[in-house]
Amino acid sequence: MDEYNRFVDWEKMDVTVQSQDPKELSCTEFQELKQLARQGYWAKNHSLRAKVYHKLINNIPCRTVTPDANVYRDIVVKIIGKRSSSSLPLPEFVDNSLVPTYCLNAEGIGAVRKIILCVANQFPDISFCPALPSVTALLLHYSRDEAECFEKVCRILACNDPSKRLIDQTFLAFESSCMTFGDLVNKYCQAAHKLMVAVSEDVLEVYSDWQRWLFGELPMVYIARVFDVFLVEGYKVLFRVALALLKFFHKVRAGQPKESDNVQQDIRSFVRNIAKSVTPERLLEKAFAIRLFSRKEIQLLQMANEKALQQKGITVKQKRQNVHLAVHAENFKSEIVSVKEMRDIWSWIPERFALCQPLLLFTTLEHGCSLNRFYSHSEGHEPTLLLIKTTAKEVCGAFLSTDWSERRRGGNKLSFFGTGECFVFRLQPEVERYEWVIIKHPELALSVSEPENHASGSSSTLSSSSIPADPSDRLSPFLSARHFNLPSKTASMFMAGSSECIIIGGGDGQALYLDADLNHGRTSHCDTFNNQPLCSESFQISVLEVWGFRD
């Protein structure tokens, strides 16, 4: 089968990968290479894929001193000794990860353990890297000997290009990527997320499995196709494919009885047996059909999640804090929502804030119906959660990412602020979360229409003309501009406040307007998104609460 067959059990391999066409890859331009990787140009030729991997990995910018094949030949005997390779213990940083065989023969299965132990010897700074066994087993397929595979793995681990994230090597990086994935699911797979909340006590624990779906459960032919694109495009591809897997799982699972009481195990089983329902081509097609945030926006979110974990002192592996621990039944009391409803809300918010506990800042029952007192109790807290119960027993609210003190930046003029993480929601009579639709350009604020019988111009509701028609325009920056010294034009517009009113709006065409006395409110609803109104068009407020987030 050629020089790259030493570790492969060809009886277990898909015979189509033994095709000899095409034989060469001559392109070097990124865009062309990207298209070929997505199309599976080298997927049908084992030898060609090996050569492409060699070329792509050799082009990874690495540390000045990166262990190579010669280092492996020098250290392997010293480290392994006369021990049987099949019984070698793996380093703790792989976290008891599965060691996929990926159609390797007996020699290959033993070689994976040897290579990982030698990598651990050369990279003492690695503290958590559960993807390493899978990556090593896969690359061994496309290596002439153990030393060559070792060098490939080392180059991936030693990448020093800050814009090219490859494999998580610390618990902080791994955990923040799990949180980031949870945030992306919340935005791009809302139906699947709703299912996870319904069937799982801890959705964070389910989403912490996302890398295992790829580097552990996904069959060889699938992960190889994913890895083809990963080496060209980077880490974002992994998020895309994991989101696609969750979408397919939801499609298969929806309406069916539970296979077990453990949705985490159900997803693993689905991914393991994905060939029954989805082809590799269909999986990638689904993954790249998702209009995901830009690489920079995802990096900002990852940074924010890492910062939140560091502030909580979570930098080494420990038991994840789930929603039930964040919202304590014995310490939580609201006149608007139950503990269960608050836990549902907690499952919607960005995961770095889900680490915190709710803290009541303001309630009209105690502090009165004064907008000034609303501001004075809410300012200095970021983010906040607004809850409203109407006299008609409707319950709605909003997650507000930005401090209300930002309203002063517009002077006496009503101006919008906020970020793309804001959203509005309804709990009664039916539960619904409305995704924020960004207004990308500040000049679009001029399209905000004045409410009837309000001549001051200081209060307004969002008109449907402010909603982008192109779905691609709904991609939004996550974070406040000042957090990362970004120009103000990159910020979203979701919240507005003055001494006369509050406006919160835009989520899937929904907008909420509250009068200064906090007794009355109105909503506007755009039919563009074919969803139900947030609440009655005009309503009286029974109770209003503002909640903060306590470490």
pLDDT digits (tens, 9 = 90+) for 215-245: 999 999 999 999 999 999 999 999 999 999 9
* Average pLDDT of span 30-48: 89
Alpha helices in 158-202 (DSSP H): 171-188, 190-199
Based on the fold, state whether residues 60 and 175 are members of the same structural domain. no
Residue 49 has pLDDT above 70, yes or no: yes
Q: Looking at 135, 158, 181, which one is the last position of a domain?
A: 158
* Average pLDDT of span 462-481: 33
At 319, is the pLDDT very low, low, confident or very high (cuts 50, 70, 90)?
very low
At 436, is the pLDDT very low, low, confident or very high (cuts 50, 70, 90)?
low
Q: Residue 445 has what pLDDT?
A: 35
At 435, is the pLDDT very low, low, confident or very high (cuts 50, 70, 90)?
low
Q: Residue 528 has what pLDDT?
A: 40
Domain membership of residue 529 (yes or no) is yes
- Decide: helix, strand or coil at residue 414: coil
* pTM exceeds 0.85 for this model: no
Based on the fold, state whether residues 154 and 209 are members of the same structural domain. no
Q: Residue 473 has what pLDDT?
A: 32
Based on the fold, state whether residues 175 and 150 are members of the same structural domain. no
- Return the top range by mean pLDDT from 124-138, 194-208, 415-429: 124-138
Give the CA distances from residue 545 to residues 192, 386, 425, 426, 548, in Å, rounded to whole numbers and listed in that order: 29, 6, 14, 15, 10
Based on the fold, state whether residues 129 and 84 are members of the same structural domain. yes
* Average pLDDT of span 431-436: 73
Query: 118 or 325: whose pLDDT is higher?
Result: 118
Q: Residue 321 has what pLDDT?
A: 47
Based on the fold, state whether residues 147 and 254 are members of the same structural domain. no
Buried b (16+ CB within 10 A) or exposed e, 469-505: eeeeebbbbbbbbeeeeeeeebbbbbbbbbeebbbbb
Residue 15 has pLDDT above 70, yes or no: no
Residue 71 has pLDDT above 50, yes or no: yes
Based on the fold, state whether residues 46 and 150 are members of the same structural domain. yes
Q: Is the N-terminal amide bond of 383 cis, ω within 30° of 0? A: yes
Domain containing residue 193: 171-312
Query: 132 or 1: whose pLDDT is higher?
Result: 132
Q: Looking at 312, 329, 361, which one is the last position of a domain?
A: 312
Domain membership of residue 252 (yes or no) is yes
Instruction: Sort 193 into a burial class: Cβ within 10 Å, 0-12 / 13-18 / 19+.
Output: buried
Residue type, 46: H
At 479, is the pLDDT very low, low, confident or very high (cuts 50, 70, 90)?
very low
Q: Residue 240 has what pLDDT?
A: 95
Is residue 287 a contact partner of residue 280, using CB atoms and an 8 Å limit?
no
- Decide: helix, strand or coil at residue 279: coil
Domain membership of residue 104 (yes or no) is yes
Domain membership of residue 127 (yes or no) is yes
Based on the fold, state whether residues 288 and 351 are members of the same structural domain. no
* Average pLDDT of span 113-134: 94
Number of domains in the chain: 3
Q: Residue 480 has what pLDDT?
A: 36
Q: For the chain, what percentages of helix, strand and coil (3-state, to nearest 5) are there?
A: 45, 15, 40
Domain membership of residue 320 (yes or no) is no
Based on the fold, state whether residues 434 and 518 are members of the same structural domain. yes
* Average pLDDT of span 39-65: 91
Q: What is the mean pLDDT of the chain?
A: 81
C-alpha dihedral sign at 195, 200, 205, 206: negative
The structure tokens listed for 160 are 């020093």
Q: Residue 459 has what pLDDT?
A: 32
Q: Which residues contact 427 (CB under 8 A, 6 or more apart)?
A: 337, 341, 344, 345, 395, 396, 397
The structure tokens listed for 53 are 């991997």
Domain membership of residue 44 (yes or no) is yes
The structure tokens listed for 517 are 């006395």
Based on the fold, state whether residues 508 and 366 are members of the same structural domain. yes
Q: Residue 437 has what pLDDT?
A: 44
For 474-528, the three-class secondary structure string (H helix, E strand, C coil) is: HCCCCCCHHHHCCCHHHCCCCEEECCCEEEEEEECCEEEEEECCCCEEEEEECHH
Q: Residue 389 has what pLDDT?
A: 94
**CB atoms near residue 92 (< 10 Å):** 11
At 247, is the pLDDT very low, low, confident or very high (cuts 50, 70, 90)?
very high
Q: Looking at 136, 158, 180, which one is the last position of a domain?
A: 158
| Percent of the chain at pLDDT exceeding 70 | 81
CATH code assigned at 237: 1.10.472.80
Q: What is the pLDDT of residues 393-411, one digit of tens each?
A: 999 999 998 899 988 887 7
At 255, is the pLDDT very low, low, confident or very high (cuts 50, 70, 90)?
low
Based on the fold, state whether residues 100 and 135 are members of the same structural domain. yes
Closest of 489, 510, 520 to residue 398, by C-alpha: 510
Based on the fold, state whether residues 423 and 538 are members of the same structural domain. yes
Based on the fold, state whether residues 215 and 154 are members of the same structural domain. no
The structure tokens listed for 290 are 């998702």
Domain membership of residue 258 (yes or no) is yes
Domain membership of residue 277 (yes or no) is yes
Residue 476 has pLDDT above 90, yes or no: no
Q: Residue 450 has what pLDDT?
A: 37
**CB atoms near residue 47 (< 10 Å):** 18
